[in-house]
Chain A
Amino acid sequence: MVPANPQSPVLNVQGLTKRFGSFTAVDGVTFQVMPGQVVGYLGPNGSGKTTTIRMLCGLLRPTAGTAQVMGLDVVQHPEGVKRKIGYMSQKFALYDDLTVRENLEFYAGVYDLTVQEERQRLPEILAMAGLETRTESTAADLSGGWRQRLALGCALVHRPPLLFLDEPTSGVDPVARREFWDLIYKLAAGGTTIFVTTHYMDEAEHCGRVGFMHSGHLLDFDTPRALKAKHLQGAAWSLNVTPLLDAIELLVTLPGVAQARLHGDRVQIIITPGAWTPDGLRARLVEGGLRINGIDAVEPTLEDVFTLLAHRG
């Protein structure tokens, strides 16, 4: 599964652009993904995420720019590209009345595995997904966590070096989610490259690198730690303030406050870096009739980065 040359990118995207009439859905997107990386691709609905992925899968022709998957150009070799990728989402089509084994056999057929390849591959998949004791259960009888593993197994039947995951773990319990991510990290350590699109920070935080799309632009692409440091150094504050709800209503009207949200018995805010000092903000809140008992700097989350970048546009 490890590509011949570990130094060459699995995804090489240069100035990728897609226009629909006068609307530019994806505008000059450039990034590279190296083998074994786990990449998160985030952005609001309509930001161009899905259009980007369709182009990367060879399903949609770019207006300008280039994209290569394992060195294959997506426009010149769309069929070759499709064989290099696997795809899985919560809505992945499993056949409920087929057993675990039959579902895997079905996808082996879809991907044209020979009988011999299939005989070798299925036990590997069953072992990887921990499904050996469930081969004769129908998909309908599997719980959420098991279904998800089966869907992952089906997406990997043809040993794709690049795996697309679309909100893969939304709604499953934290134990199953963690076991799923442990599997993903093992695949990545074995050289499979993982590309995750999600709205959920529970999932995004698991990615080694994260890209943010907004209005067709890739605003940034970096490790979670670097993103937080770059955009939100000292910009996430927890306020011990009363009355809590009045404070939120005042804070959202202040310039330089990108976000104010209820956070248990506190208010958590994101400021445009440098827009306020704690003393300045304290004075403004007191002036608004609020009581301030403390302002603490806190660790920002990826969701905070997302909100700030979306706020700036």
Chain B
Amino acid sequence: MDNILLETHDLVKTFGATRAVDGLNLQVGAGEMVGLVGPDGAGKTTAMRLLCGALKPTSGRVRVAGYDLPQMVEKAREHIGYLAQAFSLYGDLTVAENLEFFGEVFDIPDKELRARSQELLRFAGLERFADRPAIALSGGMQKKLGLATALVHRPKVLLLDEPTGGVDPVAREEFWHLLIGLLRGGSAVLVSTPYMDEAMRFNRVFFMNKGRALTDGTPRGLIGLLDGHVLELAAEPQMQARAIAGADPDVEDVNAFGDRLHLRVRDAAGPMSRLPGKLAEANISLIHLKLVTPSLEDVFMQLLETSQHGASQPAIARS
């Protein structure tokens, strides 16, 4: 990869006995959007804070835009735009005033700042709302303003910590589209998200759990890692169908999606030939049984199972 703007090497951060980030190796190049995907507590936010220099690593290296952290943190910060999960806007300041405030934080001369603010208002589609107090913006518009404030100093590296939380799908689509524009300008973007369905949107994905990257790759590459297949079963009544499918020796996992069941199987041929008969015997009407493309969640679940045998969550009796 040429022109790497963000790089970590065996990055570790411990808090007491907790290894919040536990040996993370990450590279993000110019024009690339990379996702840190994992549940709450996976270490995503700690990783972001280490990358922007807000936290010091326990061990390992961080390099941003060619500067080593923490030694050259001041230089590095000139190139980092960081949008925290609970970022602060000044609610009683207008949209334009918020941009000016963050411009002053970065010591941008007045004249340049005025032009930059206009540019960012256009970019974020907030021109019409320039004089509205930030508190009166919708959630989606606040996120866009937050992004704009993080861009005031034209950073090459963007760190966005769960930027789409609480934002509706239409506003979310617009937010993602803004990022495409930044990537075209050569920015490197690192985004964290707890939502598996968002993981498809990144050039590359790091699956995080317990401070570690379980694996990384392009979304399609990760889907290719699934050891086995996913079958979709629609049958009525579903609870009985589920019990029968779950008892099949080749079915490793059953996940219900409304009127469909997704069966993760090592081998597809066995269940495909056995299940229709078993369902018919039990008077369950089969609507369809077919191979479907696995989702990233299927892959993540399998990786979790193979990486941690002692489950941290309670095992509920599954009928």
- Whether B297 sits at the interface, judged by CB under 8 Å, is yes
A183 (CB) vs chain B CBs: closest residue: B316
Once the chains bind, are B301 and A175 in contact (CB under 8 Å)?
A: yes
Once the chains bind, are B259 and A223 in contact (CB under 8 Å)?
A: yes
Bound Cα distance from A264 to B316, whole angstroms = 35
Report chain B residues within 8 Å CB of A225: 234, 259-260
Report chain B residues within 8 Å CB of A183: 316
Report chain A residues within 8 Å CB of B40: 144, 171-173
Known contacts A130-B314, A145-B313: A170-B165 contact under CB 8 Å: yes
Once the chains bind, are A46 and B256 in contact (CB under 8 Å)?
A: no
Report which of B168, B200, B300 forms a contact with A199, defined as CB distance below 8 A: B168
In A221-250, the 8 Å CB interface with B consists of: 223-225, 245-246, 248-249
Known contacts A44-B168, A144-B40, A262-B203: A245-B139 contact under CB 8 Å: no
Report which of B203, B239, B258 forms a contact with A189, defined as CB distance below 8 A: B239
Stretch at the interface among A69-77, A110-118, A276-284, A298-306: A298-306
- Whether A310 sits at the interface, judged by CB under 8 Å, is yes
| Cβ distance A11 to chain B, nearest Cβ, rounded Å | 17
Known contacts A38-B258, A306-B169: A175-B304 contact under CB 8 Å: yes
| Cβ distance A134 to chain B, nearest Cβ, rounded Å | 8
Once the chains bind, are B314 and A146 in contact (CB under 8 Å)?
A: yes
Stretch at the interface among A57-65, A95-103, A202-210, A286-294: A202-210
Once the chains bind, are B259 and A206 in contact (CB under 8 Å)?
A: no
Once the chains bind, are A303 and B196 in contact (CB under 8 Å)?
A: no
| Cβ distance A136 to chain B, nearest Cβ, rounded Å | 16
Once the chains bind, are B176 and A264 in contact (CB under 8 Å)?
A: no
- Whether B39 sits at the interface, judged by CB under 8 Å, is yes
- Whether B73 sits at the interface, judged by CB under 8 Å, is no
Report which of A249, A303, A310 forms a contact with B197, defined as CB distance below 8 A: A303
Report chain B residues within 8 Å CB of A207: 258
Residues of chain A at interface, number, CB under 8 A: 58
- Whether B309 sits at the interface, judged by CB under 8 Å, is no
Interface string of B258-277 (1 = CB under 8 A from A): 11100000000000000000
Report chain B residues within 8 Å CB of A8: none
Report chain B residues within 8 Å CB of A79: none
| Cβ distance B122 to chain A, nearest Cβ, rounded Å | 16
Report which of A202, A223, A266 forms a contact with B258, defined as CB distance below 8 A: A223
Once the chains bind, are B169 and A264 in contact (CB under 8 Å)?
A: no
| Cβ distance A6 to chain B, nearest Cβ, rounded Å | 13
- Whether A252 sits at the interface, judged by CB under 8 Å, is yes
| Cβ distance A49 to chain B, nearest Cβ, rounded Å | 10
Contacts from A to B (Cβ < 8 Å): 38, 42-46, 130, 133, 143-146, 170-176, 178-179, 181-183, 185-186, 189, 199-202, 205-209, 223-225, 245-246, 248-249, 252, 259, 261-266, 268, 299, 301, 303, 306-307, 310
Other A-B contacts than A171-B194, A176-B39, A183-B316, 20 sampled, CB-CB below 8 A, are A38-B258, A42-B169, A45-B168, A130-B316, A143-B312, A144-B39, A144-B41, A146-B314, A173-B313, A174-B297, A175-B301, A179-B314, A182-B316, A225-B234, A249-B181, A262-B33, A264-B203, A299-B293, A307-B170, A310-B169
Minimum-distance CB pairs A-B, first 7: A173-B39, A264-B219, A44-B168, A208-B258, A245-B184, A130-B316, A44-B170
